[in-house]
Structure 1
Amino acid sequence: MHRRSSFCLLATALILNALGVWAAPHAPAAPAGMLAGIDVSHWQGGTIDWSKVAASGVSFAIAKASEGTSVVDPTYAENVAGASAAGIRIGAYHFAQPSTKVGEAAAEADHFVKIARNAAGDVLPALDIEHMNGLTTSQLQTWVAEWLSRVNARLGVRPMIYTSPGFWRGAMGDTSWFADHGYTVLWVAHWGVRSPTVPANDWGGHGWTYWQWTDCWHVQGISGCVDGDRYNGTDLVGGEIARLSVSVPGGGAVSGPRISCGAGATRCRRLADPGTSFSLTATPDEGGSFVGWSGRCGSAGTAATCTVTTTGRVRARATFGFPLTISKLGTGDGTISASPPGLSCGTTCEAVYPYGSSVTLTASPDSASGFGTWGRGCAGSVPTCTVGVGAPMGVSASFDAAVSLEEAGRGTRFGWGTARDPRAIGGSYLFDSRTGSSVSFAFTGGKVTWYTIDAPQMGKARVSIDGISHETFNGYAATVHVGVAHVFGHLGPGSHTITITALGSKSSSAIGTRVVVDAIRDAGVLRRSPKPRAGTWSRVSASGAGGGSHVVNSVPGATASLTFTGTGASWTTVLGPSMGRAQEWVDGSLVRTVDLSSPLRTYGAVRTISSLSDRTHVLRIVVTGRPGAHGTGTSVAVDGWMIR
């Protein structure tokens, strides 16, 4: 956009005026649907009054920044400052001096990038190509492509091209290669016409974006002529440098073209072409998780990838988080709540909080417990604790139980397993097989009859009446005999108790040690499937157990129960490869099935039922007879109870 001589300008004006197509110096700034602008350089001379320029309706200005490899327009910095202060969008152009010298295009591009501001919201950078300087069309095409590519690589923005229809057709061979390869913004110079001619097949179908419609427009605030330009639209956002800003407070990283946020870089930016789409990918740090997008990527939600289109200034934020895990310890019970919300713990719970969150935890013991201490990420005995989330974090809260019972303490009850069998007197019978397991029945009168089953899998049992051992019985038989009666008489009147204890032994021919109670007869009444008065499980000595021993059973249907008053209860058990699965029932409803198997034997494992209403309840443990995930055994052990 070098200025021509006054003679040339006058001659051109006379010719165009005679043809009736000269755009008068005081023509309207821009028709409807367009915005008015100017391009300036040192040719304007003197100081421009940019406030008057803005008042005249000028929306944008494109200022010459550089030429060749070393020339800097002396008015560029002043023009940028003045236009920006007046609220006029500013852009920069480079006047090309192409040559065949190797690296010349890159050197000119670098010079332009060094001098021009090229900030977000500025008019797109421009290459002003007006001279061939002795290059062939092919050489000039290559030179222009190298300059554009270099600026794009440096800025992340594709410059627009300033040219006239005649020059592009003659010097550049009317090539559409540039428009077809992403350089879609054309600044066309075509004076004295009502609509510009657009070269390169209507610039690859994109048309013109900026149009220099005259080289002599009179604008308030500028002495003499100035180039007049128009933008094809009413919002410059389509012709200005866009910017994508990504923020990552911490806990992960976001990557994309020319974007690499994270690892200490909490904010990163890049310039971009208007209307360009980018794919951003969120990757959490080890142990963390991606919480979600906000800003322009908000619609992507919690998806790891977001596609964002850069128009104007675009902001996206990626939030990562880490799990905060709360574990309850001790013999008591209570809840742990959190602010901000997310956690409300009964036993062990976990929630993901955004990186940098400050979370206040509050421990609330139930009516039968007291708060002990915090552990791991918290400390002290004050019921509240505040933690900062910057990595996976665990916090433990200890509650102390109000009452602790031995496994056979007050309110406990143990029962044998039940098997359905149509051959049994009542259609089902009680049975057990482990050493020391017993079942007791109350009766009245001087005689009682115990009905059992003799079979190959039956073992030996001892019968006691009122605590006095009477006789040992062997239930083995080569074939099944149902309704086998053992009568005990001459006991005297009144109330008595008969206790049948499995000895866990058998004859050499037997294939099991099972002992069966099919029915009880006393006072002339036959009690089918009788309900025992009391029972015990087999007791096993173990140095790791509480008190040096615990009780155990492996018979399906065997039960251990605790009647208590409170808001929760725990039972202490044993884990190991010989342990199986057990059901936990409360007040007749199944709560859950627990797996007690473990590769290693562990004593003192606590299973807790909490958050009950403060009244009387019955906790019942039922042996399922099924192995767990870490062993082949089916045993269930009880080593104590705790009431809260």
Structure 2
Amino acid sequence: MGATGVGARRPTAGVERMRIAVARVTVFAAILIALPAPPAAAGTRVPGIDVSMWQGDVDWAAVASTTTRFAIMRATRGHDYVDPRYAEYLAEASANGIVVGAYHRAKVSLAAGDPIAEANHFVDVAQIDAGDVLPVLDIEEHGGLTVTQLKQWVRTWLARVFTRTGVRAMIYASPHFWRTYLGDTTWFADNGYPLWIAHWGVASPTVPAGNWGGRGWTFWQWTSTGSVSGISTNVDRDRFNGSNLLRGKIASLTVTPAAGGMITGARIACSGAAFTCSRLANPDTVHTLAATPDPGASFLRWTGSCAGGGSSPTCDVTALGNKTVSAIFTYPVHVEMQGSGAGTVSSAPAGMNCGTTCTASFPVGSTVDLAAAADSASAFMGWGGACAGTSPGCQVTVSGSIDIVATFDPVVSVEQDGAGTTFGWGRVVAPYAIGGSYRWERRAGATATYAFSGGTVTLFTVSGPGMGRGRISIDGTTVDTFDGYARAVGTRLTHRFTQLGAGPHSLTVQVLGTKRPAATGTRVAVDALRWGGLTRV
């Protein structure tokens, strides 16, 4: 690779000592040697370095004071070697705000299970995490393998790292090595593996595999003889191909468990019981999540990075940086209205207004306050089901489907067949009536009698164009006659009687069968009675 201007990483301590010796001999001639020029368009590329034990003691605070934004470190080689400086470099560089990454120097062989063993060794040591530079396979030796064998070795190593981390690792290689020993294959580019190209002393790197499948390079090692404050030796210098290093770092996708359902996707299966709720991912990769409600529950909407997905049960989220997603599931709260009276049940938060809608869904875990309100002719008798007692208020916490009963009864019914009642009084359902309906009869002599108690009673009748005359008796004595005619229908025409004395009484309404000339009928209509502070319909 020397003829191409691309050197190998430092393979052995002996070779490194030789390089140091040569460097010492030639130091006085350095002024005669042109230093490698920085790559073109450096202003649009993020600078960094890559290091191994050969850099010795590193002052990472000094490195951080330069333009260096990332450092890729050798973690492992083969299936058992660990770089003795890796843990130290990783901790100190991170502590000084430098973005870190790890690479594995492949030691290729045909031994059974070799690529899997090397991949496992790398993952065990590297401590790969979100926010790091993408992990790297450094492939610089072929180990006597054919092109086909080496391609399979690299595929197996990369697949194993993906299986364990969910990340497609980056490949480090020179143009010469890739073309010569990997047949200039585009398979890795086509399957989402980024390229870290090693090509020194040029203004722009040569990118193999058809410009890496048309995607170009992601990182470029442009010199092996760089100088950076805080490092006393030569150091490899690199560039990220872009101004935002976020696109060269491992992304994370975190799903917050949502009670009432499960969120699933590739490497994600997250519910209230918290299975696998986070994963690592390559930047700019799209991940489809699906929200599945538990039995009896419903999916309401997405939150977090999927909020734009609204109420669709699936969401595509692009991994970049740290993305957090959750969902809201609901359970129904159903109120059954019982009793012969009338009223309403409303909720806070809004959603229920029984009388029109008696089932509403609320987010799992939310608290719902219910309020029962009887109409003017009824009384709230109490709750059943998930609520209890006779207080008009009830609070429930939504953790599943909830069934509630609310009972309303009229204080007393207006009898049609009580003592003194004659003929069959009809019933008209009308929203303007006090209790939602009224009784009527038109035949002369028809009567309706109602029992009450106390010294005061009020009779409510209905007026209108078809109404005629009637008579009111209390305890068998006539106390009033009335004419129900009016040009338009009206209610709450009152007939109030006082000083009747304590105890039980009866009130009788009689149809006289007469009317004024303008009236179109002889009807008499009874709407309600009121005594003892309560209205009866």
Q: Is TM more than 0.5 here?
A: yes
In 1, Cα distance between equivalents of 2:352 and 2:294? 22
Aligned CA distance change for structure 1 residues 215 and 440 (closer, same or farther; 3 Å): closer
In 2, Cα distance between equivalents of 1:393 and 1:563? 37
Q: Which residue of 1 aligns with 2:176?
A: 166
- Say whether 1:63 aligns with 2:76: no
Aligned CA distance change for structure 1 residues 408 and 59 (closer, same or farther; 3 Å): farther
Q: Which residue of 2 aligns with 1:129?
A: 139
Deviation string for 1:48-83 (max 9, x for gaps)? Answer: 222211111111111111111111112112211112
1:92-111 equivalences under 5 Å are: 92-111=102-121
Alpha-carbon offset, residue 18 of structure 1: 11
Contact 2:76 2:105 in 1 (8 A): yes
Deviates more, 1:201-210 or 1:322-331: 322-331
Alpha-carbon offset, residue 202 of structure 1: 0.7
In 2, Cα distance between equivalents of 1:194 and 1:251? 58
In 2, Cα distance between equivalents of 1:402 and 1:392? 32
Q: Which residue of 2 aligns with 1:230?
A: 239
Q: Which residue of 2 aligns with 1:45?
A: 56
Contact 1:65 1:92 in 2 (8 A): yes
1:113-152 equivalences under 5 Å are: 113-152=123-162
Contact 1:248 1:319 in 2 (8 A): no
Q: Which residue of 2 aligns with 1:363?
A: 372
Q: Which residue of 1 aligns with 2:472?
A: none
Match of 2:261 among 239, 249, 252: 252
Structure with higher strand content: 1
Alpha-carbon offset, residue 133 of structure 1: 1.5
Contact 1:21 1:192 in 2 (8 A): no
- Say whether 1:301 aligns with 2:313: no
Q: Which residue of 2 aligns with 1:87?
A: 97
- Say whether 1:414 aligns with 2:426: yes
**SS of 1:53 mapped into structure 2:** helix
Q: Which amino acid aligns with 1:563?
A: D
Q: Which amino acid aligns with 2:291?
A: A
Deviation string for 1:566-586 (max 9, x for gaps)? Answer: 9xxxxxxxxxxxxxxxxxxxx
1:458-497 equivalences under 5 Å are: none
**SS of 1:396 mapped into structure 2:** strand
Alpha-carbon offset, residue 348 of structure 1: 5.6
In 2, Cα distance between equivalents of 1:207 and 1:2? 26
Alpha-carbon offset, residue 533 of structure 1: 6.0
Q: Which amino acid aligns with 1:41?
A: S
Contact 1:412 1:563 in 2 (8 A): no
**SS of 1:32 mapped into structure 2:** helix
1:161-240 equivalences under 5 Å are: 161-183=171-193, 185-240=194-249
Aligned CA distance change for structure 1 residues 148 and 401 (closer, same or farther; 3 Å): same
1:225-624 equivalences under 5 Å are: 225-262=234-271, 264-265=273-274, 268-346=277-355, 349-408=358-417, 413-414=425-426, 441-442=443-444, 563-564=527-528
Deviation string for 1:426-467 (max 9, x for gaps)? Answer: xxxxxxxxxxxxx97559xxxxxxxxxxxxxxxxxxxxxxxx
Alpha-carbon offset, residue 397 of structure 1: 2.0
Q: Which amino acid aligns with 1:2?
A: R
Alpha-carbon offset, residue 395 of structure 1: 1.5
Alpha-carbon offset, residue 307 of structure 1: 1.1
Aligned CA distance change for structure 1 residues 229 and 348 (closer, same or farther; 3 Å): closer
Alpha-carbon offset, residue 350 of structure 1: 1.1
- Say whether 1:2 aligns with 2:15: no
Contact 1:249 1:266 in 2 (8 A): no
Contact 1:287 1:322 in 2 (8 A): yes
Identity %: 48
Aligned CA distance change for structure 1 residues 88 and 17 (closer, same or farther; 3 Å): same
Contact 2:269 2:275 in 1 (8 A): no
Q: Which residue of 2 aligns with 1:427?
A: none
Deviation string for 1:498-525 (max 9, x for gaps)? Answer: xxxxxxxxxxxxxxxxxxxxxxxx9xxx
Contact 1:441 1:531 in 2 (8 A): no
**SS of 2:277 mapped into structure 1:** strand
Aligned CA distance change for structure 1 residues 219 and 562 (closer, same or farther; 3 Å): farther
Q: How many residues align?
A: 433
1:11-22 equivalences under 5 Å are: 22=35
In 1, Cα distance between equivalents of 2:26 and 2:291? 60
In 2, Cα distance between equivalents of 1:279 and 1:440? 72
**SS of 2:317 mapped into structure 1:** strand
Q: Which residue of 1 aligns with 2:499?
A: none
Contact 1:377 1:387 in 2 (8 A): yes
**SS of 1:66 mapped into structure 2:** strand
Q: Which residue of 2 aligns with 1:32?
A: 43
Aligned CA distance change for structure 1 residues 107 and 330 (closer, same or farther; 3 Å): same
**SS of 2:62 mapped into structure 1:** helix
Q: Which has the larger radius of gyration?
A: 1
Which sections of structure 2, spanning at least 5 residues, go unmatched?
1-8, 429-440, 446-512, 514-519
Alpha-carbon offset, residue 288 of structure 1: 0.9
In 2, Cα distance between equivalents of 1:167 and 1:322? 61
Aligned CA distance change for structure 1 residues 412 and 363 (closer, same or farther; 3 Å): farther
Contact 1:353 1:389 in 2 (8 A): yes
Contact 1:412 1:562 in 2 (8 A): no
Q: TM (normalized to structure 2)? A: 0.74
**SS of 2:158 mapped into structure 1:** helix
Q: Which residue of 2 aligns with 1:433?
A: none
In 2, Cα distance between equivalents of 1:258 and 1:376? 41
In 2, Cα distance between equivalents of 1:29 and 1:221? 25
Aligned CA distance change for structure 1 residues 78 and 8 (closer, same or farther; 3 Å): closer
Contact 2:297 2:400 in 1 (8 A): yes
Which sections of structure 1, spanning at least 5 residues, go unmatched?
417-438, 444-521, 523-529, 535-560, 567-615, 617-641
Q: Which amino acid aligns with 1:67?
A: R
Contact 1:331 1:401 in 2 (8 A): yes
In 2, Cα distance between equivalents of 1:403 and 1:61? 85
Q: Which residue of 1 aligns with 2:479?
A: none
In 2, Cα distance between equivalents of 1:216 and 1:161? 21
Deviates more, 1:153-162 or 1:244-253: 244-253
Structure with higher helix content: 2
Alpha-carbon offset, residue 126 of structure 1: 0.3
Q: Which residue of 2 aligns with 1:544?
A: none
Aligned CA distance change for structure 1 residues 7 and 412 (closer, same or farther; 3 Å): farther
Alpha-carbon offset, residue 337 of structure 1: 2.2
In 1, Cα distance between equivalents of 2:34 and 2:340? 97
Contact 1:163 1:188 in 2 (8 A): yes
Contact 2:120 2:161 in 1 (8 A): yes
**SS of 2:217 mapped into structure 1:** coil
Q: Which amino acid aligns with 1:400?
A: D
Q: Which amino acid aligns with 1:182?
A: G
In 1, Cα distance between equivalents of 2:529 and 2:119? 84
**SS of 2:63 mapped into structure 1:** helix
**SS of 2:72 mapped into structure 1:** strand
